Structure 1
Amino acid sequence: MVKRARAAIAPVEDVAETEAGSNVAEYSVSEISGALKRTVEDTYGHVRVRGEVSGYRGPHSSGHAYFALKDDRSRLEAVVWRTTFSKLAFKPEEGLEVVVTGKLTTFPGSSKYQIVVEAMQPAGAGALMALLNERRLKLEAEGLFAAERKRPLPFMPRVIGVVTSPTGAVIRDIRHRIADRFPLHVLVWPVRVQGETCGEEVAAAIDGFNAIEPGGPVPRPDVLIVARGGGSLEDLWGFNDEGVVRAAARSAIPLISAVGHETDWTLIDHAADRRAPTPTGAAEMAVPVRADLVATLAAMDARASAAVSRTLQAERRAVAHLARALPSPDLLLSLPRRRLDEAETGLGRALRFYTAERRRMLGDAAAELSPTRLEAAIRDRRADLRHAEAGIFHALTHALTRRRHQLERLEGSLRPHVVAARSDQARLRLAQAGERMDRAFGDLVSRRKVALSGAWRVAASLDPRQVLERGYAIVRGADNTPITRAEDLKPGTAFEVEFAHGHRRAAVATEVEGEAPRLAKPGRRKATTLPATAQGDLF
């Protein structure tokens, strides 16, 4: 079939010669396209092609990816099927130089040939470094690596979260180092530390630790460690993922990056709050040495005790010095004693002088109380009273005159025609006031009737006798207390049933399991049914 296809693609001159009477077979377009497809696939079954990715717009809605590989002279269409795309360690990016492995085939529908990609790798470390540098500059321009964003690590955390592989040596080294230095609670979030899903899992683990609520069933870590052992640039490429860097930058929990060895650098190292050279170094950064803390506390306790002892001794010496400098009690009390003796001596003289002075004052007062002086004082007081009497008489006379003039003016205003006019006006005002009062009283009575009618309707609706008229009953106990729960009616319990018209006494005979029997409905009145637990025979 291949020979036939090659024969069919003959020069134009040969075709012209065969048209005159040759026996060369004719092919349809589909046949020649199929022959070309088989020829290309047989000849180039498995090839490696190096070129620059062009026209890549992400995976199609079907999951397949379409782009082209080009160099400075040619262009080759490429396709990555959905099942292969999810397994690629490196996803295609616009402008990235890659080396792809796959099969060449043709697309008969448009007479094109393409390569079906089965594996993809960057074209050397130079391309990876260029891509890494470009991504670093982009994230740095957004401020994700700024020093002011980094937070200090807690001095003594209670819980440490570790994002790493649960089966590698890294987690064992971290656990052993933490157990040696300061044993505490370690939470491990298992992730893949290499491969195509590494970046997504690490970013999800960081966000998952931050989503833990404080005080919940799972303790919230005080510090996070993202750790992995050493490896090549391709092995550590998952920690250069943009999603991992953004998750580390927005983490509310302080984060330590311990990816690779001391010479290995990834983008998460720039976004983390601290970078450790090794996973073991990260464990040393996260926790202090318990023995050193104990020794430090013991030393501080000894220093504090010694300082207290020295302070007490110094205070004792100071008190002793002050005690020696104080004078004796006799020396302190000598001056007050002398003043007291002098006061005692002068007190007798002062008392005698005071007594004599008071006696003289009393003698002077007694001399002023003679009959002659008293009579003179009485005459002065009588003169004052006569003067006051004359003044009062003059004032009363003046007041009576003024009142007489007022009565005369009032008498003029009380003449019959004046009184009659004023009486008519007062009578008219009184009649008008009476009419207004009658209307106001009528309105008040109407409003009070309406309010009373509404209140009476509400009271009637709340009357329990109205409820009893509708067929209900009230069950009361021995102390006339209403019984509202079925469990209060036990066998032998006596109770009283109040109906709309009359009372009946009853008692519970036995308990009946199951649904309570329903009583027949006499007329339109509803029957009262006791709860199932209180049903029984009444007697």
Structure 2
Amino acid sequence: MSDPFPLFEEAGRPRSNAAEFTVSELSRAVKRTVEDGFGQVRVRGEISGFRGRHSSGHCYFSLKDVDASIDAVVWRGAFARLGVKPEEGLEVIATGRLTTFPRKSSYQIVVEQLEHAGLGALMKLLEERRRKLAAEGLFDEARKRPLPSLPGVIGVVTSPTGAVIRDILHRVSDRFPSRVIVWPVRVQGETSGAEVAAAVRGFAGDYGGPLPDVIIVARGGGSVEDLWGYNDEEVVRAVVASPIPVVSAVGHETDWTLIDYAADHRAPTPTGAAERVVPVRADCLSAVADRSRRLDVAMATYVHRRTADLRLLSRGLPAASALLQGPRQRLDLAGDRLSAALFRATAEARRRYLATATRLSPHLAARPVEAARERLSHTLRRLHRAVDHIVADRRLAAARTGGRLAPHLLTRRLDEARLELKRLTTRRDRAADALLGDASTRLAAAAKLLDAVSYRSVLSRGFALVWRANDEPVRSAAAVAKGEALEVQFADGRVSVVEASTSPRPAQSRVKRVSRSRKVDDRQGSLF
């Protein structure tokens, strides 16, 4: 029997007529409702919870205000097209579509475009970034370097088609012509900051061109959004790390960016940067001429003062003649002593020569030679006897064994004996030559010694010897009798003279030349 009351459950509760949904069906229904009702929205809020891009390339964060927050996601394909990249604490206007995430029963916005919420947000972000970089010491004045006085090469990072580069080139050409190298970059837009940072690093690296002495980062004026690329943290760090001094010339006088704090020098305008980097050529020439003139005056004054000092000092010096009096007197005394010393040295040499000459004679020099000849003859005789004995012994032995030896053996023995005889004869001749050579060498040495101590070498220098008629040398003037016949020997011969007087006269008149005598006997020892 069927239940008469189908609208009531067994427990007494009534059945509901509402449709039943599964969780998935309800989630999909809510997703369609949200997406149909909010297909495209613009939401203003502050980015919160941003930790950078996920490993998948997507970005996840929240947009919040004072009373609420909403999850946000930026897919990997849309991230590259964003005009403003998400940053923690940045107030933005996000354009996208609402959707739900069924797994967490939450809704979120899929961001397709980000914009800055306003100037106040940009300035807040700029101030926070400036404080962060300043806390790292990137803006310290102590790390900033002076600019070169006369740069040979100037690097310029700017747009190659704008008026900025023309102003810089014109100003550099007017003031001090230098080489300018332009690194073209975009001066505004999404990639502006990355290109400027790459250009600054490229000038300091190996880019294939000459290394600049200074770098100018220049751009014309514009809004905060237009200049935002020069507030990029990458640009600031590239300028700080550059080994080349950097001049910032971004915007006008009232425009300030973070690169102005990091650069070694800030110029109000690009034209002012060119004026700051290069001097005026005429001013340089004038300064050089002025310093040259001052140097000439200083040198003239210095020389004049030194000349005056020299004159004052020279007045205290004695006269030149007075300074030379003492040395002249010492020179005269030394000359007198030198003459006397020469005479004494000559007399001493003559005495030693005569003492030696008395002990030398030709037969003394010939005695070693005769002894050597005698020893050589004795040796030769002994050698001949020895050879004769050997030959006789060999002949006797050959005669004794001749009957027992075959003819060819006898012939071989005879050949051997001939070779031995020839060898002994060669040794005899060699020994004789050696003995004769040694004796000749000793004889030549004795002859050189005899010639060195001979009085004839003294006569060749202008001296003379006085002899008596019996070839006895005269050793003093007192030993000569009046009217005694003498002979004076020179280097080329003898002259006969007669003593004329014993009274004191000059040495030239004490002897009288009688006649030219014979030539001097060349034999050594003719004085004895």
Partner residue in 1 for 2:246: 255
2:189 to 189, 195, 200: 195
Query: Against the structure 1 CA distance between its residues 197 and 302, is the aligned structure 2 distance closer, same or farther, given a 3 Å change threshold?
Result: same
Aligned to 1:181: 175
* Distance in structure 2 (CA, Å) of the matches to 1:50 and 1:287: 49
CA distance in 2, matches of 1:36, 1:108: 9
Indicate conservation of the 8 Å contact 1:52/1:71, yes or no: yes
TM-score normalised by L of structure 1:
0.52
| Contact kept in structure 2, 1:106 and 1:112, CA below 8 Å | yes
Give the Cα–Cα distance (whole angstroms) in 1 for the partners of residues 112 and 94 of structure 2. Answer: 7
Q: Distance in 1 between matches of 2:135 and 2:321?
A: 87
TM-score (norm 2): 0.53
- Indicate yes or no: 2:227 matched with 1:230: no
| Pairing 1:88-103 to 2, within 5 Å after superposition | 88-103=82-97
Task: Find the partner of 2:234 among 222, 230, 243.
Answer: 243
1:25-70 CA distance string (max 9 Å, x none):
x877666655544443443333221112122121222322121212
User: Quick one: structure 1 residues 109 and 335, their matched pair in 2 at CA, closer, same or farther if it must change by over 3 Å?
Assistant: closer
Contact 1:53-1:94 within 8 A present in 2 as well: yes
Q: 5 Å matches for 1:108-507?
A: 108=102, 110-212=104-206, 217-304=208-295
What amino acid is the match of 1:218?
G
Residue identity matched to 1:288: P
Cα distance, 1:126 vs structure 2? 2.0
Residue 96 (structure 2) pairs with residue 105 (structure 1): no
Aligned residues: 319
* 1:53 is the counterpart of 2:47: yes
CA gap of 1:336–1:161, structure 2 versus 1, over 3 A, is closer
Q: Which residue of 1 aligns with 2:474?
A: none
1:229 partner letter: G
Find 1:79's aligned residue among 73, 96, 121: 73
| Residues 1:287 and 1:27: Cα distance change in structure 2 (over 3 Å) | same
Asked if the contact 1:69–1:77 (Cα under 8 Å) also holds between the matched residues in 2, the reply is: yes
What is the CA distance between 1:281 and its match in structure 2?
0.9
Q: Distance in 2 between matches of 1:145 and 1:55?
A: 29
**Per-residue deviation at 1:255?**
0.9
Judge conservation of contact 1:212–1:219 (CA < 8 Å) in 2. Answer: no
Bigger Cα displacement from structure 2, 73-82 vs 40-49: 40-49
> Counterpart of 1:205 in 2: which secondary structure?
helix
Does structure 2 conserve the Cα–Cα contact (< 8 Å) formed by 1:164 and 1:191?
yes
The alpha-carbon distance between structure 1 residues 27 and 226, as it changes in their structure 2 partners (threshold 3 A), is same
Larger radius of gyration: 2
Query: What's the offset of the Cα at 1:116?
Result: 2.3
Change (3 A) 1:90 1:333: same
Whole-Å separation in 1 of the counterparts to 2:306 and 2:124:
76
Residue 81 (structure 1) shift: 2.4
SS of the equivalent of 1:235 reads: coil
Percent of aligned pairs with the same residue? 62
Q: Is the 8 A contact 1:159 1:221 kept in 2?
A: yes
Question: What is the distance in 2 between the residues matched to 1:149 and 1:298?
Answer: 35
SS in 2 for 1:72: coil
For the residue of structure 2 that corresponds to 1:172, the secondary structure is helix
Deviations 1:74-131 (A, max 9, x none): 2222222223322323211222221112222344555433222222123222222222
After the TM superposition, which of the residue ranges 178-187 and 288-297 deviates more from structure 2? 288-297
Q: Distance in 2 between matches of 1:80 and 1:50?
A: 16
Partners of 2:30 and 2:214 in 1: CA distance: 62
Alpha carbons 1:87, 1:196 under 8 Å: kept: no
Question: Unaligned 5+ residue runs, structure 2?
Answer: 1-13, 334-528
Cα shift at 1:186: 1.3
Distance 1:34 1:251 in 2: 56
> CA contact under 8 A between 1:159 and 1:219: conserved in structure 2?
yes
Letter in 2 for 1:112: S
Partner of residue 465, structure 2: none
For 2:95, what is the secondary structure of its paired residue?
Answer: strand
The letter for the 1-side match of 2:142 is: E
Q: Distance in 1 between matches of 2:136 and 2:307?
A: 67
- The AA in structure 1 aligned to 2:233 is E
Give 1:17 deviation, angstroms.
5.9
Q: Tell me the secondary structure at the aligned position of residue 171 of structure 1.
A: helix
Runs (5+) with no aligned partner, structure 1:
1-14, 348-539
- Structure 1 residues 62 and 326: CA distance shift in structure 2, 3 A: closer
Distance 2:261 2:231 in 1: 10
Report the residue type matching 2:222 in the other structure.
G
Distance 1:124 1:334, change over 3 A: closer
CA distance in 1, matches of 2:142, 2:269: 24
Structure 2 CA distance, aligned partners of 1:97 and 1:336? 102
